[in-house]
Chains A and B, each alone.
Chain A
Amino acid sequence: MATNARNRGPLRTLAALMVIIFGLYGLLTAASIWGEAQRTPKLGLDLEGGTQLILKPKIVGNQKPSEGQILKAVDIIRNRVNSTGVSEAEVTTQGGGNIVVSLPGTPDSATIASLQKSSQLRVRAVLVEGSAAPLPVPAPTGTATGKPTTKPTSKATSKTKTTGKATSKTTSAPKSGFPRALAAATTPAPTGKPTAKPKVTPKPKATAPATAPTAKPKDPSDLAWVTPDIEKAFTALNCANPKAIQDIVDDPTKPMVTCSQDGSTKYILGPAELAGPDITNATSGLQPGPNGQPTGIYEVRLDFNATGKKAFCDVTTRIIALPSPRNQSAMVLDNRVISAPVPEVVLCSGQVSITGSFTAASSKVLADQLKFGALPMSFVQETRDDITPTLGGEQLSRGLLAGAIGLLLVVLYSLFQYRALGLVTVSSLLIASALTYAVVTLFGWSIGFRLTMAGVAGLIVSIGITADSFIIYFERVRDEVRDGRALRAAVETGWKRARRTILISDAVNFLAAVVLYVLAASNVRGFAFTLMLTTVIDIVVVFLFTHPLLSILANTKFFGEGHKWSGLDPKRLGARTVTYAGRGRVTIAARRAAAEGSQS
């Protein structure tokens, strides 16, 4: 195909656009075949219905949650359920204490579970660690043989993860320590492994209940915290019973007895030294290895505020010198120890990463829960029901019908105004719609973006804004034609001027969208996201489609010579003939005639 050399640049741009469009649809198809994406945009609660949960606060004792606490819980749950702000979930209160969460679609059970948890993270020093193996209970009674073997093994496994450079990295033991610890506990005779170190640990543990019930503990790692009551609770605790763990009262000022998350180890922990509110941010991801390469282990990274930083620094400084198991600091989340790492160095950077038995999903859930703060209380699910759409299907179908009629009118109007140029508008709008559809559907899959009725209407209005970019452009080109430029030159100079206007006006819209998205909550964020999307699509379509297309068309005879139906007819635009007026200037006969007419 012999192409006009002038068309090469624009054709390349068009090819790039085609690549983008096919790429998006290819991704969409791939995602729907191999992933869980659907081929239509996800719809919001008002159009599709969903699931409604009623969460009832779990009351410890007879304290009734205050209104402020409930409102705070509503805000936190709203953030958790709608962390990207585009899933259009609704959270409200019912009857003073309950929280009603309406989620579009059918949420999985993990999502629902994550809503109910308080997610109170506390850092506590480990005082006593024991295997949670239910029957052979040598640990609590303190036979010196069983214990020491448990300790070194779990410690050794923690230590293997030491990374030279990552000073803020700590890793946990409980999981890997489990099988060996169990094996050790069931073996009555000492294995001969214990070194000098473990000997120290069982001693105070065994003596503590007897000697120091009245002594005041000096610091949170002091074994004086272990009173006979605590000892008894530790013995009685059955990690296989989830109810038992749920009922543990997590009082930050007192020591507590609890289990690790997988139920393999149980602990006596000192009072809380650091809590959730001291966390400023939480992120999740793969743990980088010593050279920065991902290791395949998922971690949750925590950033602490000044208080948290200092507290954590103090904890590590104190416990690092202590014998095992007291050199561990336990991360306690909702009564369970999710990780009890042994710090290798004093950690004062204010950043800590937790590795447990995380998957990509569970580390993200935990990071979100920690980031948005702990609920003032835990909740239990009272009811769970499917809910019908609040807007009938009639509203959507008639709304779409109305939108279609409206768009048809737009097409007619632009053909009427711009003749053949109107076709450029129409095709640009089609490209814009195709892009919007693909992007909305893809975002529905990747971040749960959902369209509500308001969103659909917003998209229809955005078509008006997209069309405006073409109108600005065409009017500028026409202005240039009126000044007597040849069409090709008019397209180029008109574009240069229109481009500025299009960019600044879209930039302002984009700014609006970003600010609203970052700062607002709930439905407003969904709207802001839609606005962001359509603004970007507007720019993409004008730069990658409308302008190159018009440049190519300007080289055709029909447009280039200003055919009557091209919409760029110089005659209709008042530029009949062009004359050279001297001094590098051109002028237009029509205007000269007009000027003459007005003067005589």
Chain B
Amino acid sequence: MSSFAEFGNDLYTGKRSIDIVSRQKTWYAVSAVLLVLATIGLFGKGLNVGLEFRGGSEFRVSSVTSTDGFESRGKEAVRTLDAGSDVKVSRLGTNTVRIETETFDSTKTDQVKVALSREFKVPVNKITASTIGPSWGASVSQKAITALIWFMVLVSVVLALYFRTWKMALAALVALAHDLFITVGIYALAGFQVTPASVIGFLTILGYSLYDTVVVFDKVRENTLAAEGNGRLSYSQAANQAVNQTLVRSINTSVVALLPVASILFIGIWLLGPGTLLDLSLALFVGIAVGTYSSIFIATPVLADLREREPAMQELKKRAERYQAAQSRRAATVPSVDGLGAQDGEDLDGTDIQDTVPVPAGSRASASGRPLHPYVQSGPRNQPKRPPKSKR
């Protein structure tokens, strides 16, 4: 597919450029819709929290003569009484089946006991019932939240130091919060159960989202530094160019990250049914997709919005406007250009500055074909040209 490579080339040179930063309202609107959906999922539908977080009831069926297919048999027996309830079945030792369910009141517990005794053909007195506490208890969650808060603080400090502006750190955290909220919200909307595995999935997303944003921001920083130096682009334009230049990378990376997750998701849907794998892959799939989206369409515009308010950036914008106006004026007044200089003017590639000496654009070729310096063509100091030897 040569067109994709070409697409990359065009994005790189700036020949083709997608207005991402300047259309931030559109993306904010898209995100607002997603956030509303996530809010509905989280607060309307609510998170379906698993037994690991809530605790529940536990039944132990001992002296079972045949434990073949104990998993499905145990589930069936409970679900005849309470369809759709969360049931985990495991075998202890050789002849004890352990069934974890939601918390049942005493009448329900007795019914379940009867159902289980019928299913496993043991007398009711061989079944014990008790309540179990959460394995992922409040203290674990609390510690995890403390760790997250510290993590956010430290990451902000590191990013602010590395990028030398706290605004990048803020924008990255905004994108992070955006990703997590949407992922968890959509997860809730899909009605999947939150298990420790899906929490791990959410944490993976947290890492991925931040990683992706940092990669894009590194390019943004490179381009905007160049723009601040030469004053040819405003901050937003430079940021937009950076996003365009990393777009191919973003697409490739997200495809590579999504392919394995997507294949797990499909196998999960078609072959396995609900379970840890499906939970995890849904969380990861949504999260990676949203994470890639947010680092391009949310983090960068938010950053540009923040930075554009600074007086220095306003100044840069004016400089860039003046420069660009001059460029287009020259392009209009100089109809025949050998392309070389004009191309330089358009080559807004910030990465070039350190190893090239920019030639002022619009230089016209002399009779000898050598480009003439603009000073020579016009301007206040139009000194007498030295006539060629033949005319002297």
Contact = CB atoms under 8 A, between A and B. Distances in A.
Interface in A556-600: 572-574, 581-587, 591-596, 598-599
B210 A508 contact: yes
Contacts of B203: 516, 524, 527
A201 B246 CA distance: 84
Contacts of B9: 482, 573-574
Given A512-B206, A599-B339, A410 B256 contact: yes
Contacts of B351: 479, 483, 497
B359 A461 contact: no
Interface in A130-144: none
Contacts of A482: 9, 12-13
B346 interface: yes
A457 B339 contact: no
A95 interface: yes
Given A52-B92, A504-B214, A454 B135 contact: no
Given A92-B133, A511-B154, A593-B339, A403 B260 contact: yes
Contacts of B266: 402
A236 interface: no
A507 B134 CA distance: 34
A529 to B, nearest CB: 12
Interface string A378-400: 00000001111111101100110
Contacts of A585: 356-357, 359
A519 B211 contact: no
A452 B197 contact: yes
Contact of B91 (A91, A388, A524): A388
Interface range on chain B: under 10, 10 to 19, 20 to 34, or 35 or more? Answer: 35 or more
Given A505-B214, A585-B359, A521 B150 contact: no
Contacts of B314: none
A592 B340 contact: yes
Contacts of A391: 275-276
Given A453-B276, A516-B151, A572 B2 contact: yes
Given A75-B139, A461-B204, A599-B331, A574 B260 contact: no
Interface string B143-169: 110111011001100110010000000
B342 A595 contact: yes
A546 to B, nearest CB: 14
Interface stretch (A19-27, A261-269, A412-420): A412-420
Contact of A92 (B5, B135, B260): B135
A45 to B, nearest CB: 10
B288 A464 contact: yes
B233 to A, nearest CB: 17
B280 A387 contact: no
A94 interface: yes
Contacts of A452: 197
B80 interface: no
Nearest to B1: A416
B352 A94 contact: no
Interface string B19-59: 00000000000000000000000000000000000010010
12 contacts: A92-B132, A93-B133, A96-B131, A398-B271, A460-B260, A461-B257, A468-B256, A475-B246, A497-B222, A505-B211, A506-B211, A524-B140
Identify the 7 closest CB pairs spanning chains A and B, nearest first. Answer: A406-B260, A464-B257, A93-B133, A519-B147, A595-B343, A574-B9, A95-B130
